[in-house]
Chain A
Amino acid sequence: MTSENPFQNLTTDPAVQQMLAKAKENNISTVWDRYEQMLPQCGFGETGLCCRHCLQGPCRINPFDPDAETGICGANADVMVARGLDRAIAAGTAAHSGHAKHLAHTLLKMARGQAKDYKITDPVKLKKVAARLNIAVDGRPETDIALDVAKAALADFHEKDTPVLWASGVVTPGRVEVLSKLGLVPKGIDHEVAEIMHRTLYGVDADTVNLLLGGLRCSVADLAGCYMGTDLADILFGTPTPLASQANLGTLKKESVNIALHGHNPVLSEIIVKVAGEMTDEAVAAGADRINVVGICCTGNELMERHGIPSCTHSVSQEMALLTGAVDAMIVDYQCIMPSVASVAECMGTKVITTMDICKITGAEHIDVKEETAAENARQAILQAVAGFKKRKNRPTHIPALTNTVVAGFSTESIVAALSKLNAKDPLAPLADNIKSGNIKGVCLFAGCNNVKIPQDINYTKIAAKLLKENVLVVATGCGAGSLMRHDFMDPAKTRDLCGDGLFAVLNAIGEANGLGGPLPSVLHLGSCVDNSRAVEITVALANYLGVDINQMPVVASAPEPTSEKAVSIGTYAVAAGLPTHVGVMLPVMGSALVAKVLTQTVKDLTGGYFIVEPDPDKAADMLLQALNDRRKGLGLV
């Protein structure tokens, strides 16, 4: 990259830089332009010192005015900040668990024979999940088990006699004890979200610590939603196994009908992929060579981990896919879809198709997709893409000739399977032994988004590069995985250069034992943002194996470029689970010294986890390494 590149302060992805040049040339507004226009941003919002929870407001507390101590109702800065944070956690929880609930309904309808386009793809996972829920499996038809699992999933959303089973049943026994003692075991996923809305209402909870504990409990419900999302998606669509794929804008093909699937839930995208595979004739009749399905954001991750569908781009650069002029339809479900895609699409003559009744965008076309008629709806949407191709096939496209090799598909199951090639009897032993010996210093999970405030991907790549050299095993989900894959961190050919000797030896040994003829990629792709559950599952398995709790494990998490409230709730459940958790963007909590202290220090005495807020990637890497070293010391490891 040369210093002449005017876009290097916006993104470190060269393909995105090319598209930004095109956007500028064509005077098309992108997220970076809108950010510029938004500056300066409001200091009250930045510090969490504004409140719109009642009609006497809005209130804001001037942090530099010693006389401005409270809002109109008397809520002080601490309460205001804690309420705002709680609502962000509730929103994130509602989103992940909404995704899971959608899958639960799909599983239920499938089991009842009402959704013929869906089936049980992984009966082994079905039985594993059922067994965890104490649902009888022996001698029962799979659909009966699935029906019970779906019912148990839906039951976890409301208050009932048992706590949320997808929370209490998925962590270590020690963690259940810690969370129970603190009153942090959720009673129902929807119940916790609703309770946050209640307690943050005008004139309810005004005790800062009590509010924060409520937020922590809600975040544990978010873990449940994520975990359920992964479980049910694996049952319906298959548990990922390692496979090769590609990333970045070069995965769009001029001669193909390009469909970009954007959003999160595999309920829709899986069917599109399947039906698209049956519609090559329609594409050929329109003059294309085939239908080329690519993913954006977590839809991309879900499809990549199960089918090796290429990931086109992620998060903050989603508009760039449209700027290539080569996308014939962007089909979206929900979450992280910037409404601006509709206007960029209009400029480029592309169609955006919304499919969910909770996520319509003015300027986009809507095709209501129902589980009962999924394939038929998918066909309708794909025909729109084919029609789009006919219109654009003679127009120029600008597809950056940049792709990255990616090896993805790492689930707990596939990792254990790979490890069992080293030790069939005791598959976790090789991992545990290498952590003990120091070949692997610890594990870092990268999760979250890109954020327009940070040059795209720079925090991910800088921190990951440093940690890998220090022999930290790095796993990634969501747009964190997207970021690292677009910078070759998931290309096994780069593992030798990226990793320290100890880590390389381990990754190479696993790769060789599994017949890959080389190492695993330096960063293991664990899937979408709900698939942070996979990181939890692996950590819990290792902790149980070592006979310790999660808060003793040399495991850290980092959301170095977070944007969505989902990243806030994920970060919070990582803290509730007991992990040091780095955030690379200032959370809107600095207006309260008390809240900032609780999140970064006090909570450590409660759950063992804590937030590390550090925008500088080099410092953040050092702090994460320090946290891992502290944990190692705690376990008596050098």
Chain B
Amino acid sequence: MPNYKEIFVKTDKCTGCLTCKIACAVEHSETKSLFSAIRESPGPVSRVYVEWLPGNVKVPVLCRHCEDAPCLNACISGAISRSDTNAVITDASKCIGCWTCVMVCPYGVIGRDQTFAKAFRCDRCPDREIPACVGACPTQALVYETVDGFSKTKRKTVSRELLTREGA
């Protein structure tokens, strides 16, 4: 299986600016430009969420595209499938709006489209090399990387920290 990239979140870097939400909505608009997307009707919607927690912590949350996806297993209409880039995607034309996917999603990142009453979620921007939210994040709180690559970077960081603590 190819080594697909995932969108990882670095919670310590998020400033809560919501730039990711705007970029996501623009990418999922008809015109793909902020100044025209803002006038579209129905307006495009963002698929990334930023939650706020006491202590002024901001946490971007978005579809993890789980390898063993509860939503995909639970969908009764066959609307949810895995794309050729390993993303879990919802086919709106098949969605019946039963919200079973919403019930089983461990992350709460499946939304209800207010215009069409269909489920929608992150599709990892199939037309882009880097998902719009990742490209837009000014602090690199969102990272597009393979699991191996992300872990490797993390190991490097922790190694440096370890050495620093040992006084190296």
Binding site for B on A (CB under 8 A): 40, 42-44, 46-47, 60, 62-66, 586, 590-591, 593
Q: Check if B19 is an interface residue, CB within 8 A of chain A.
A: yes
B21 pairs with A66, CB closer than 8 A: no
Report the contact-size class of chain B (Cβ under 8 Å from the partner).
20 to 34
Q: Check if B98 is an interface residue, CB within 8 A of chain A.
A: no
- In the complex, chain B residues whose CB is within 8 Å of the CB of A62: 18, 21-22, 46
The smallest beta-carbon distance between A59 and chain B, in angstroms, is 11
Q: Check if B44 is an interface residue, CB within 8 A of chain A.
A: yes
Give the residues from 33 to 53 in chain B that come closer than 8 angstroms, CB to CB, to chain A.
Answer: 34-35, 37-39, 43-46
Name the contact of A64 in the complex, choosing from B19, B35, B44, B136 (C-beta under 8 A): B44
- In the complex, chain A residues whose CB is within 8 Å of the CB of B114: 66
Q: When A64-B45, A66-B114 are in contact, do A590 and B35 touch as well, CB less than 8 Å?
A: yes
23 A-B residue pairs with Cβ-Cβ distance under 8 Å, sorted by A, are A42-B138, A43-B23, A43-B34, A44-B22, A46-B34, A47-B35, A47-B38, A62-B18, A62-B21, A62-B22, A63-B22, A63-B25, A63-B43, A64-B21, A64-B22, A64-B26, A64-B43, A64-B44, A64-B45, A64-B46, A65-B46, A66-B43, A66-B114
The smallest beta-carbon distance between B19 and chain A, in angstroms, is 6
- In the complex, chain A residues whose CB is within 8 Å of the CB of B22: 43-44, 62-64
- In the complex, chain B residues whose CB is within 8 Å of the CB of A44: 17-19, 22
A462 to B26, CA, bound (A): 30
- In the complex, chain B residues whose CB is within 8 Å of the CB of A64: 21-22, 25-26, 37-38, 43-46
Give the residues from 90 to 132 in chain B that come closer than 8 angstroms, CB to CB, to chain A.
Answer: 114
- Total of A-B residue pairs, C-beta within 8 Å: 51
B21 pairs with A586, CB closer than 8 A: no
A42 to B21, CA, bound (A): 11
A63 to B35, CA, bound (A): 11
Q: Check if B70 is an interface residue, CB within 8 A of chain A.
A: no
A591 pairs with B21, CB closer than 8 A: no
Q: When A64-B44, A65-B46, A586-B35 are in contact, do A40 and B135 touch as well, CB less than 8 Å?
A: yes
B39 pairs with A593, CB closer than 8 A: yes
Q: When A42-B138, A65-B46 are in contact, do A590 and B19 touch as well, CB less than 8 Å?
A: no
A42 to B138, CA, bound (A): 8
Closest 5 CB pairs of A and B: A43-B22, A64-B25, A40-B136, A590-B35, A63-B38
User: Closest residue to A66 on the B side, CB-wise?
Assistant: B114
- In the complex, chain A residues whose CB is within 8 Å of the CB of B136: 40
A621 to B138, CA, bound (A): 35
Kindly list 15 other residue pairs between chains A and B, CB separation below 8 angstroms, not including A64-B46, A65-B21: A40-B19, A40-B23, A40-B135, A40-B136, A40-B138, A42-B17, A43-B19, A43-B26, A47-B38, A62-B18, A62-B21, A63-B22, A64-B21, A64-B37, A590-B35
The smallest beta-carbon distance between B112 and chain A, in angstroms, is 12
Residues 1-43 of chain B, each 1 if its beta carbon lies under 8 Å from chain A, else 0: 0000000000000000111011101100000001101110001
